[in-house]
A and B are shown apart, each in its own frame.
Chain A
C-alpha cells in the first residue's frame, strides 16, 4: 500500500477544504471498499480525509413526507430506521441484502453510492481495465463476463454497479446532495452515474472534490407497497447477479402507479421507465408484466456468457410484480 496522509474532518466545509479537489486525495467513510482497494493497489491515494465524524448521521422526515438521509448514516442504521421500513420497505430489504452485519455497521450511505465495481479485471492490477487504466482495454468482453452488464454497456466496459441500496433509491427518485468549495449542489440519482461510452473511468457527475452530504427521497405513497428481490450465487453475503426494486399501486386490477429499478445489469441502477410507462393504467396481470419486462429488456445486448440475465430479469419482474398485485388484492 502506498504511504498516505490522514486528516479527520469535523464539519462539512472543513472536509471539502481539506480535500481541496486534490485528485490524489479521497474521502474516507466506512472504508469497507476503499481500504480493501488500497490494499490491492487499485486505489493509491496520497491523502485520506476521514468524514465519519461529520454531523451527517441523521435520518429525518421531510416536510413533504419524504426522507432526508445523511451521508454518514451507516447501512445498518438506514435499514433499521422505522420510517424507512414503513415508507420504503424495499430500501430496507435492499440494504439488508448487501454485505454482512459487520460491513453494514461500517459502511455509509455516501460511500455506498461511490463504491466501485466488483469486476475481477478491475480488481486485479496485473490485468488491463479501461476503468482503472483508461485505454488499456477490457478483457471482460472476451473473458469472464458471466456476472457483467447486459444494459447500457459498451465495448470499453461491461462492469456492473454493485450496490443494492442504490437500486432501491433509484426506484424511489432519490436526489443526491453534495457540497463543494463553490457551494452546495444536487443530482437526481438517475443522472448521478454517467453513461459508460468510451469513458468508463468517469463514473459520476459529481464535480471534482465534491462531498456527498445526503440523499433525499421524495414522498412516494406507492413505495409503502414495495419489495427488493436479489438473486445471487449463494444464499447470503454475495453480490447480485440480478436484482429488482419494485413498488406498485393496484386498484381494481389496474396499475395506478409503478416503480421499477433493475440491479446488477448495468454500470448503474437501471430505472425501467419503459416498463413503467407500459404498465401504468393497464391490467395488473402476468401477461402485462411480461410484456413490460420484454419491452424494457429489448435494449439488452448480452455477451455469450450472460444471456441468462435477460431471462432472469424478465422472470424477476413478473414474479415480484405478481406478488405485489396479489398483496394489493388481499
Chain B
C-alpha cells in the first residue's frame, strides 16, 4: 500500500511461513523487530542488530538475509520464512535434524540463524554458486565439493560465541549429504 509521502507509518501485510499478517508499522521497524515484538515469532534472534552476527537470519523469497537490516515496510510482498517455518509439519528439516544429531550448538542462541542460513546455503551450493575459497570460479570448472573449508566460508556470516563451529560444520555437511541423496 502506498503511504502519503509525509506519513512515517504504513499499513502493510507480511507473508511469513505462508501466512498473511496484516499490521501497521512505523517505517523505522525492522523485519526482525516486527517478527519478535509484533508477531510473537521469537524464534528469530537479535544479536548485534548491525548485520554482523547472523543470529537474525531468515529467508526472503527463499534466500537468506539478515532481518535486522531489512525494513519491515520494504518486506511487504515478499515470502518470508523464519525458523518456525522450515520444518515440514512435525517432520524436522534435515538441517534441524543434523544439528540435533551432531550437537551443532551449545547455548542455542545463534542456532535459528545458523539453521536458516544453512538451509539456504545448501541450496546456493546446489545451484552451483562458487565461494571466496573456490579455486576456479569459471562455470566450466563445475561446482566445488562442499568441503569443510567451503562450509566455513559460506557460513562465515553466522557467528557462534560458544564456538560450536566444529559441530556446526559437521551438521551442515551431514544435512547437505542428505539433500544430495534426495536429489540423486
Q: Residues of A at under 8 Å CB distance from B?
A: 1, 3-8, 28, 30-32, 35-36, 38-39, 47-48, 50, 52, 76, 79-80, 82, 85-86, 89, 92-93, 96-97, 99-103, 105-106, 235-237
Contact = CB atoms under 8 A, between A and B. Distances in A.
Interface residues of B, number: 49
A101 B70 contact: no
A3 B139 CA distance: 46
A260 B27 CA distance: 43
B30 A35 contact: yes
Given A3-B27, A99-B157, A101-B154, A50 B5 contact: no
Contacts of A97: 132
A3 B73 CA distance: 13
Contacts of A47: 5
Interface in B93-139: 117, 120-121, 124, 127-132, 134, 137-139
Contact of B121 (A3, A30, A101): A101
B22 to A, nearest CB: 17
B156 A86 contact: no
Nearest to A5: B5
A235 B129 CA distance: 20
Contacts of B120: 101, 105
Given A105-B65, A106-B65, A80 B128 contact: yes
Contacts of A236: 132, 152-153, 156
Interface string B31-45: 000000000000000
Nearest to A40: B50
Contact of A92 (B2, B63, B73, B130): B130
A31 B63 CA distance: 16
A35 B71 contact: yes
Contacts of A237: 156-157
A39 B8 CA distance: 16
B28 interface: yes
A114 to B, nearest CB: 16
A102 B127 contact: no
Contact of A100 (B6, B74, B157): B157
Given A6-B10, A99-B157, 9 more contacts: A35-B70, A52-B74, A76-B63, A80-B129, A101-B120, A102-B64, A106-B60, A236-B156, A237-B157
A89 B132 contact: no
B121 to A, nearest CB: 6
Contacts of B140: 86
A93 B120 CA distance: 20
B79 interface: no
B147 interface: no
22 contacts: A3-B8, A3-B28, A4-B27, A5-B6, A5-B27, A6-B74, A7-B2, A7-B5, A35-B30, A50-B74, A52-B74, A80-B124, A85-B130, A85-B139, A96-B132, A99-B157, A101-B117, A102-B54, A106-B60, A235-B153, A236-B156, A237-B157
